[in-house]
Amino acid sequence: MISFKTDYTPEDVGYDEDRLVKLSHFFEDLTKRKILISANYCLARDGKVFANNAVGKLSFREEDTRELRPDTIQRIASITKLFTATAIWQLAEDGKLRVSQRVGEFIEEFDTKPFNEITIAHLLSHTSGLQADDECFENKYFVSPWAFIDHDKGMNWIAASLRSGMRKKPGEEWAYCSFGYVILGEIITRVSGQFANDYIIEHIIKPCGMMDSGFGYDNKEVVSRTNIPNERSEKFITEILNGTQSTEEQDSVWAKIPGTGGSMYSTAYDLCRFGTMLLQGGYIDGTRVIGRKAIEKMSTLYTAPHIKDYCWNAGGPYRQYGLGPDMRCNEGSLYTQGTFFHEGAGGCCLIIDPTEKLVAAWFVPFVNGAWSGEALYNAAAVMWSGLK
């Protein structure tokens, strides 16, 4: 295990140090059982970081003995959506939009049936009725918005994507829709006058002091510090380091599409800073990023009990969701009701518990991409068990 020194100890923040030892052993066991390649985590309470540790290997290759470090840069996938939601709420508190407004008021392609009743709130809460992500539902004939965009390269990418149609009417069902967050990114671009990726960097990442975060792996310095979870990543990293990557995509329609559905990278420490900012009412190190009331609205339960979840064979339970973050809290959750969070495929997680003032960020790259509830939900229980 590699541990970075922190300014505070577990004792300083009312946390049982023995449970940190238990947490590291928990992750070490998952790596020995070949469930995880590695794990690293950063914990803060009341704005005070008291743990920043890493266990396991940098690469999926058995022969690669390099260790993962706490400052290794990794993809955060759908945790990106929390940044997108924060950007939307920044624009809302600046009076530039209302989340109750129809998407069609900003994007003309949505101003026609059956899309014209979709609101920004529907997109934020995954209740828009737009097609869900690939593999959310069993349907071998499903064609995603991305496939239509790929087919119609060079044309209007929004119009192309809408050829995939609607799954349900807005507000009827919770269905995980990353493409809805791409549309939120387009709204950010049009309302702010700045490409959404750049807006998030300038208005959230930099003010939060997140030195190792951004969109895409676009330079050798970033790539040289990333983990290597699979062959695809290995090939991509090698091409960038060798200067042999294709520039075709940079000049294509894909470069015009916001990465607001899941294209960011970060570290556990940086994610902990972002979570701490949200915990502290929008301020970090004296810098204001967003207002307290906007955070309260974003992290208040939005979906009603009739909103059911059938994604990934869930079976139709009520899906608790805010206007941006996940709000689930069930019999297996040790964190407090009202806690908000987001997972990322691959995997990783960021949880903010306002009652206990605890923020936890961790990366758990899965072996062969096989999702593990132990590495996410069980790990959260171990983390929260240390609170005194």
- Kindly write down the DSSP assignment for every residue of 345-383, as one continuous string: TTTEEEEEETTTTEEEEEE-PBGGG---HIIIIIHHHHH
Quick one: 162 and 235 in the same domain? yes
| Same domain flag for 91 and 164 | yes
Give me the pLDDT at residue 239, please.
Answer: 86
Q: Which domain holds residue 59?
A: 1-72+332-388
Coil/strand/helix, residue 254? helix
pTM over 0.85: yes
Cα dihedral sign, 194-188-324-91: positive
pLDDT score for 82 = 98
Same domain, 227 and 271: yes
Q: Which of 69, 46, 32, 33 is nearest to 363 (CA)?
A: 69
Mean pLDDT of the chain: 95
pLDDT of residue 253: 85
Which of 303, 328, 353 is where one domain is finished? 328
The last residue of a domain, from among 328, 348, 371: 328
CATH number at residue 373: 3.30.450
Q: Where among 285, 308, 328 does a domain terminate?
A: 328
pLDDT tens, residue by residue, 160-206: 999 999 999 999 999 999 999 999 999 999 999 999 999 999 999 99
Mean predicted confidence (pLDDT) in 312-332: 96
Tokens 């990322």 belong to residue: 344
The number of distinct structural domains making up the chain is 2
Is residue 22 domain-shared with residue 129, that is, in the same domain?
A: no
Residue-wise pLDDT tens digits, 239-291 = 888 887 766 555 578 889 999 999 999 999 999 999 999 999 999 999 999 99
At residue 137 the predicted structure's pLDDT band, cuts being 50, 70 and 90, is very high
One domain, residues 40 and 80: no
For the segment 92-112, the average pLDDT, to the nearest whole number, is 98
Are 3 and 99 within one domain? no
Q: 283 and 377, same structural domain?
A: no
| Residue 373 and residue 231 share a domain | no
Residues 17 and 104 in one domain: no
My answer on whether 289 and 369 are in the same domain is no
**Average pLDDT of the segment spanning 59-85:** 96
Q: Which residue's structure tokens are 């470069």?
A: 255
Q: What length is written for the chain? A: 388
DSSP 120: H
Say whether both 83 and 182 belong to one domain.
yes
Instruction: Work out the percent of the chain whose per-residue pLDDT is above 70.
Output: 98
* Same domain, residue pair 17 and 134: no
